[in-house]
Amino acid sequence: MRFTGKHIALMAAAGVVALAALAAGTVCLTSGCGTIGYYAQAVGGHLEIVGKSRSISGWIDAEGTEPRLRERLQLAQRMRDFAVQELKLPDNASYRRYADLGRSAVVWNVVAAPELSLTLKTWCFPVVGCVGYRGYFDRAGADALAGELKAQGLDVNVYGVPAYSTLGQTNWMGGDPILNTFIYWGEGELAKLMFHELAHQVAYAGDDTTFNESFAVAVERIGGARWLEQHATPEVRQADADAAQRRVDFRAITQRARTSLETLYASAITEAEKRERKAGLLAAMRAEYEQVKATRWNGFAGYDGWFARANNASLGVQAAYNELVPQFEQLFERQGRDFERFYAEVKRLAELPKAERRAALAAASAAAPAGGRR
């Protein structure tokens, strides 16, 4: 599941950025770049993960490793090899180690949006550019920032993140490890998570969260479908299909709500009227969810928390993960379903200015196929 505390969010190499900034003595003290304290917690959090991780082969061979964990680590390594051999994702140290952090999330992300807008507040960092969230390894830090933002009148959401990517910048330190926060996920979800995070190491546009996340989601969907087709049991494929249908329904419900809210916020009525109608639209979205849960999901309640907390911020970040996915999927088809050609084109697009990048992606995804299928 992606949006109930289990969806994947990019921490954007926070530990690496902090180390480089502190070492160079150039940490920016403005609101746009953050504070020394923020970078310090990023350094400490990342080093904690590094210190707790060890090779998966070591875990597998250790006598004290629980059989269930050993089996899942073996499965994860088969997925990691598949990512390299079949999906042409980077062959490096990432996801070759495992760490048990003793908690349910690796970081907590804070997202915020104005009371009458779905546009996310952004924070900017050296190297990785601007992103629509701020991540903390300590929940208390995230809650403190959330309180400050709420006091400014913003809609705010804090959510736990089970995995994060350092964009391949820490492979010299052992790379991003597999964590206890997601090792026991369903087989399809585990595979997709790894493919998603590895995709962030392929291409990254420093000023475009939606581009980055939509690309990674496209890779996870394409790669996940291939893994399930080639390696999963019928039972696993059915469970993943059920989860996928729930995500389709979830996206449809939230897309309708976002469209209605965007229309409302752009209208010429008073702010007081907008606030009243906003409350009505959110209530209607929650009512639709309850109906779908009862009639299509057999009472599955995994999204209850998300809908209970839903606001402009959570709707805004949810959109960032899906807006451009169809264009990336079309681009993959246009590149003859060839991963290497697909990645090369995405890297080229990532180097363009944002407006030009979006226009070029739309044009490239609609162009004639670049070659045969394989």
Domain boundaries of the chain, sorted by first residue? 14-231, 325-366
CB 219, CB 199: distance < 8 Å: yes
Q: What is the percentage of the chain residues whose pLDDT exceeds 90?
A: 71
Task: Please give the C-alpha separations between residue 162 and each of 89, 177, 351, in angstroms, as whole numbers.
Answer: 21, 12, 29
Higher-confidence residue: 151 or 51?
151
Summarize pLDDT for 334-344 with one digit per residue, the tens.
999 999 999 99
Of how many residues is the chain composed? 374
The least confident of 77-81, 131-135, 185-189 is: 131-135
Summarize pLDDT for 105-118 with one digit per residue, the tens.
999 999 999 999 99
As a whole number of angstroms, the distance between CA 198 and CA 155 comes to 31
Provide the pLDDT for residue 25.
36
The least confident of 16-20, 101-105, 107-111 is: 16-20
Provide the pLDDT for residue 240.
94
Average pLDDT over residues 24-41: 53
Average pLDDT over residues 256-281: 97
The residue type found at 86 is E
Strand pairing category for 107-113 and 178-179: unpaired
Query: 253-287 burial, b for 16+ CB within 10 Å, e for fewer?
Result: bbeebbebbeebbeeeeeeeebeebbeebbeebbe
Provide the pLDDT for residue 67.
96
The least confident of 9-13, 66-70, 72-76, 204-208 is: 9-13
The closest of 173, 222, 178 to 202, measured between CA atoms, is: 222
Provide the pLDDT for residue 183.
97
Provide the pLDDT for residue 371.
52
Provide the pLDDT for residue 14.
41
Helix (H) or strand (E) holding 294: helix 271-295
Average pLDDT, rounded, for the chain: 87
Provide the pLDDT for residue 166.
80
